[in-house]
Amino acid sequence: MQFLLILAVLAALTISESCPRQPVDGAAFRLALAAGSVAAVALFAWVGSLAIARRLLADFDRRHVLLGRFRQLRRVHAVLWLGVAGGILYGLDWAQLVRFNWHLDRALLVDDLLILTPVLLPLVLGWAAFYEVEQALQTRLAGGDRPQTRDATRRQYVVLHVRHYLGVLLVPVLVLLAVQDAFELIAPGWLEGPAAAVVHLGPLVVLFVLFPVLLRHVWDTRPLPPGRLRQRLEGVARRSGFRARQILVWQTGGMVVNAAVTGFVPFFRYVFLTDGLLGRLSEEEIEAVFGHEVGHIRHRHLLLRVAAMFAPLSLWLLVLEGLPETAAQLQDWISAAGPMLKVPMGLIALGAMALYMLLVFGCYSRLLEFQADLFACGSLEPHPEGQAPVATFISALEKLAAANGTDRNTRSWQHASVARRVGFLARVAGDPIFQRRFQRQVRLLGVLILAVVLSPLVFQLLLG
């Protein structure tokens, strides 16, 4: 979902920047058609969710089948959401309607928010509909071995998703757009000359450094209280040489079972543990999940992921510097493809980047997750009367998948399936040579990625 949302927002902004600067005909019809399309997607989500929720309440023994259908419903909804958003933005010339029919092209952030409405509104309405299934599931689970927590209202459920998905993405995007809009009003010449890089790079660097602080406030968090669990986690941090500003509990009403770490600089680094994670896992399993997050930092995965994101741009700069004639020919081919496909150049570039992120970056991220899993198992102290560290971490993985309603055989963009991660750990436990070979391969990939990112600078230094 996060990948699709990022792609949709970037596509909307790309279309809006390349649209003709003139009003469109039939504004009222276009608005009505857009509203009807959004309503149709919302209706699909509501009808499907209500049907599955009623069946869950009536026949809870078939919950695994019904939750599988719910996952299918969400996939189809995602396809409809993206199709309708694309149709409104590109087919109905939504950006022109907002900016030039409604004369909002010079309204600070107002036009940007309205342009993003076809992307955001169907998503929010879908979350409101999906609450029905979540509520039915929690109703039937009440009284079992699940920790008793106050059921979230529909509003709380939607707000949680908005803060989780939209807050993390939209706040930085809106800050950058606000800076750009402000310069367009105050000093438009700055966005066209050499100073444009400074205008955009400055806020990017600030957001990059302060993003963990932003995340702490966008999500509803509080420090993990003193106690035995905190002492255990701090012990893992000390043994691993890991430093962070704070270990935080992310308050989700028990609806999210997950953990995360963010921050390059220890002073601005936070570890997030959701209340659902703390309520469903044992202290040993929470310690294992914490060790996984520490592994991301100790292996410099945040830096490597950022480098992997910029690797295609660095390769292109290297081609421009080292093979200018080839670069010019490629630019001519791409320029010719845009009009032929009737697609803005920005969307072609965005599509190519999306393919890279989905296929190459996603695969690399899954390798890093395997490495963090290994670190987690190594960070746990074996207990004479308890299970082995690998078994503890595998138990945590299985519980995370079950609590989030995730099929253990299904992978995500950046994470391998739980079944594959468990199989990997089982193989490593019985084959130390395989583990050493894997670690060496991941390190070599990291060196290669950093070399690619630095290659344009090295080329310039060699020429100089």
Please give the angle made by the CA atoms of 76, 60 and 138, to the nearest 5 degrees: 75
Which DSSP state fits 395? H
Which DSSP state fits 358? I
- For the chain, the average pLDDT equals 87
Among 95, 128, 151, the domain boundary falls at 151
| Kind plus residue range of the DSSP H or E element containing 248 | strand 246-250
User: Whole-prediction pTM value?
Assistant: 0.86
Q: Are 243 and 271 in contact (CB under 8 A)?
A: no
Q: Pick from 280, 270, 228: which is nearest to 402 by CA?
A: 280
Q: Mapping DSSP to helix (H, G, I), strand (E, B) and coil, where does residue 270 land?
A: strand
Among 123, 151, 179, the domain boundary falls at 151
* Widest distance between CA atoms in the chain: 76
The whole domain housing 20 covers 1-151
Among 90, 118, 151, the domain boundary falls at 151
Buried b (16+ CB within 10 A) or exposed e, 99-114: bbbbebbebeeebbeb
Q: Pick from 195, 204, 105, 19: which is nearest to 187 by CA?
A: 195
Q: Mapping DSSP to helix (H, G, I), strand (E, B) and coil, where does residue 164 land?
A: helix
pLDDT at res. 137: 83
pLDDT at res. 233: 96
Buried b (16+ CB within 10 A) or exposed e, 62-94: ebeebbeebeebbeebbebbbebbbebbbebbb
Residues 147 and 295 in one domain: no
Residue 110 lies in a domain: yes
pLDDT at res. 147: 42
pLDDT over 80 at 150, yes or no: no
Mean pLDDT of 307-321: 89
pLDDT at res. 413: 86
Residue 326 lies in a domain: yes
Which has more confidence, 22 or 386? 22
From CA 23, how far away is CA 221, in angstroms rounded?
45
Q: Are 83 and 44 in contact (CB under 8 A)?
A: no
Helices 362-379 and 418-430 cross at an angle (nearest 10°) of: 50
Q: Report pLDDT digits (tens) over 114-130.
A: 999 999 999 999 999 99
pLDDT at res. 271: 96
Q: Out of 179-188, 229-238, 357-366, which region has the weakest mean confidence (pLDDT)?
A: 179-188
Q: Out of 23-32, 34-43, 86-95, 160-169, which region has the weakest mean confidence (pLDDT)?
A: 160-169
Overall number of domains in the chain:
2
Identity of the residue numbered 12: A
Which DSSP state fits 222? E
Residue 273 lies in a domain: no
pLDDT at res. 329: 77
Residue 270 lies in a domain: no
Residue 22 lies in a domain: yes
Q: Report pLDDT digits (tens) over 230-246.
A: 999 999 999 999 999 99
Four-CA torsion 299, 301, 302, 306, nearest 10 degrees: 130
Buried b (16+ CB within 10 A) or exposed e, 249-275: bbebbbbbbbbebbbeeeebbbbbbbb
Residue 180 lies in a domain: no
Q: Are 147 and 220 in contact (CB under 8 A)?
A: no
Residue 134 lies in a domain: yes
From CA 268, how far away is CA 91, in angstroms rounded?
43
Residue 464 lies in a domain: yes
Q: Report pLDDT digits (tens) over 57-71.
A: 988 888 888 888 998
